[in-house]
Amino acid sequence: MKHEELLRKAYDPETFRAEAHQLVDLLADSLNKASNGDLKEVLSWCEPAQAFNEVESLASNPKELFESTLKRCIQLHDPRFLGHQITPPLPIAALAGLFSDFVNNGMGVYEMGMAGTAMERFVIQKVAKQMNLGDNADGVLTSGGSLGNLTALLAARSKIADADVWNTGTDEPYSVMVSDQAHYCVDRSVRIMGWGADGTVLVPTDECYRMDIDVMKRSYLEARQRGRKVIAVIGSACCTSTGTFDDLKRISDFCQENELWFHVDGAHGGACAFSKKYKYLIDGIEFADSVVMDFHKLLMTPAITTALIFRNGFDGYQAFAQKAQYLWSEAETPEWFNLAKRTFECTKTMMSLKVFSILTNYGTEIFDANVTKLTDLAKAFAANIREQPDFEVAVEPETNIVCYRYVGDCSSGLSLNDLNRQLRQSILTKGNFYIVQTLLNGDVWLRSTISNPFTTIEHLQALLRDIRKLAMSH
């Protein structure tokens, strides 16, 4: 085919129309099956080498390509999806994603993304209000909590560190404090900033995996005695493995007394701001200097969509600027509408539309409905596990994450850790449930994030029966 002809064909509007209709039919059918429990498996396990060998045979016409790819996808809309922290997206938000991909407006400078930029401000203000961050709060959407946390820490460094690190680099032993259950992206962020492994002062947690505040105070003094210059404390709301919330109020008091930056990693549980019933879990978030919250963990938004909010909106302009610029020169005015001033991303997708489409169609009430229902069910699941002598729960769940393990009989003489590791592997390859595992104090626990609002206690009881049956045959 001639080049010109090839290009015309690839952009043909009528082909697009027909293929898009087919795709939506495929996805709607899949949603229907998943919600009615008509899918055979939640995932169809395939070894990596085999998946790679199959790639070429996947690619034929678009209809078949999407059909065969879907068969290799883990089905988030299936109520038996009980694994990692990611939400089954609402169809309207997925359509917003298609729209964003099609128009391909980059959100770095205002004129490239006028509609999306305005919506982004609206979405940020909505979340800030829900968290009671006050009238000066402002921020941006970023591609993920990991990038959001790094950006918040860059702003903290700019504001608190005594050296102008942005311009001169530094050998100063700056540090941040965070619990030993924090997400690994905090440690990575610190290393990216050049402070090495010692830049993260890990604070031990109590028996519920919550940061021990008394120990934190001692760790702070010890770190200072070692010569570390602590600039910030990060509260986990919640931590990733068990979903436990740190005591944000007490961390905030400590930060205020010691003039430290208070950052809240609310990637997962910041969403509780929308739940009337569970909002108390994040009491104290209103005093945070910066907060990160993912929409793609609990709020039915496609990945990857994160809010990064500063209580004092001006702080957001300091992440990528020289120290303490309160007096803006002409070239460095804090323009909310030119988003690249506050984010590492240059070409940024129109992620605001995904959230806005949900808000405008269903209001914040749908967030409340989802967060509250999932958390209620996680608690009911834990209570149910406790009634079964051959299972145990690691810790009372505070959010939709439950850690548990099988402690009953098995035919082989495996240790509990090896047994639970093997059970999780068998569940994965069997494919009728999806669960993950985690390590707590060196022990293996099964871990489920209840993400689908149509999962019921009956699904969870069936999961336990499956695990028990597998254990008996081990």
Ligand X SMILES: *Cc1c(COP(=O)(O)O)cnc(C)c1O
Q: Which residues bind ligand X (CB under 6 A)?
A: 85, 144-146, 183, 185, 236, 240, 265, 267-268, 294, 304, 306
Q: Minimum distance from CB of 292 to ligand X (Å)? A: 7
Angle, alpha carbons 141-229-166 (nearest 5°): 50
Identify which of residues 118 and 202 has a Cβ nearer to ligand X in the complex.
Answer: 202
Strands (E), 304-456: 306-310, 391-393, 401-406, 436-440, 443-449
Q: Give 3-state DSSP helix, strand, coil % of the chain, rounded to 5.
A: 50, 15, 35
Q: Minimum distance from CB of 293 to ligand X (Å)? A: 10
Identify which of residues 85 and 452 has a Cβ nearer to ligand X in the complex.
Answer: 85
Q: Minimum distance from CB of 402 to ligand X (Å)? A: 15
Identify which of residues 87 and 240 has a Cβ nearer to ligand X in the complex.
Answer: 240
Identify which of residues 235 and 316 has a Cβ nearer to ligand X in the complex.
Answer: 235
As a whole number of angstroms, the distance between CA 54 and CA 31 comes to 25
Identify which of residues 75 and 189 has a Cβ nearer to ligand X in the complex.
Answer: 189
Q: Minimum distance from CB of 121 to ligand X (Å)? A: 21
CA 24 centroid distance within chain: 27
Q: Minimum distance from CB of 148 to ligand X (Å)? A: 7
Q: Minimum distance from CB of 255 to ligand X (Å)? A: 18
Strands (E), 23-128: none
The answer to whether the CB of 153 falls within 8 A of the CB of 289 is no
Q: Minimum distance from CB of 413 to ligand X (Å)? A: 36
Residue 455 tokens read as 């999962």
Give the residue closest to ligand X by C-beta: 145
Span between the terminal Cα atoms of the chain, in Å: 59
User: How many other C-beta atoms are found inside a 10 Å radius of the C-beta of residue 98?
Assistant: 13
Identify which of residues 236 and 290 has a Cβ nearer to ligand X in the complex.
Answer: 236
As a whole number of angstroms, the distance between CA 438 and CA 30 comes to 30
- How far, in Å, are 23, 70, 218 from residue 207 at the CA level? 49, 42, 18
Identify which of residues 175 and 306 has a Cβ nearer to ligand X in the complex.
Answer: 306
Q: Minimum distance from CB of 240 to ligand X (Å)? A: 4
Report the length, in residues, of the chain: 474
Residue 59 tokens read as 């690619």
As a whole number of angstroms, the distance between CA 39 and CA 49 comes to 25
The answer to whether the CB of 441 falls within 8 A of the CB of 181 is no
Identify which of residues 397 and 423 has a Cβ nearer to ligand X in the complex.
Answer: 397
As a whole number of angstroms, the distance between CA 15 and CA 6 comes to 13
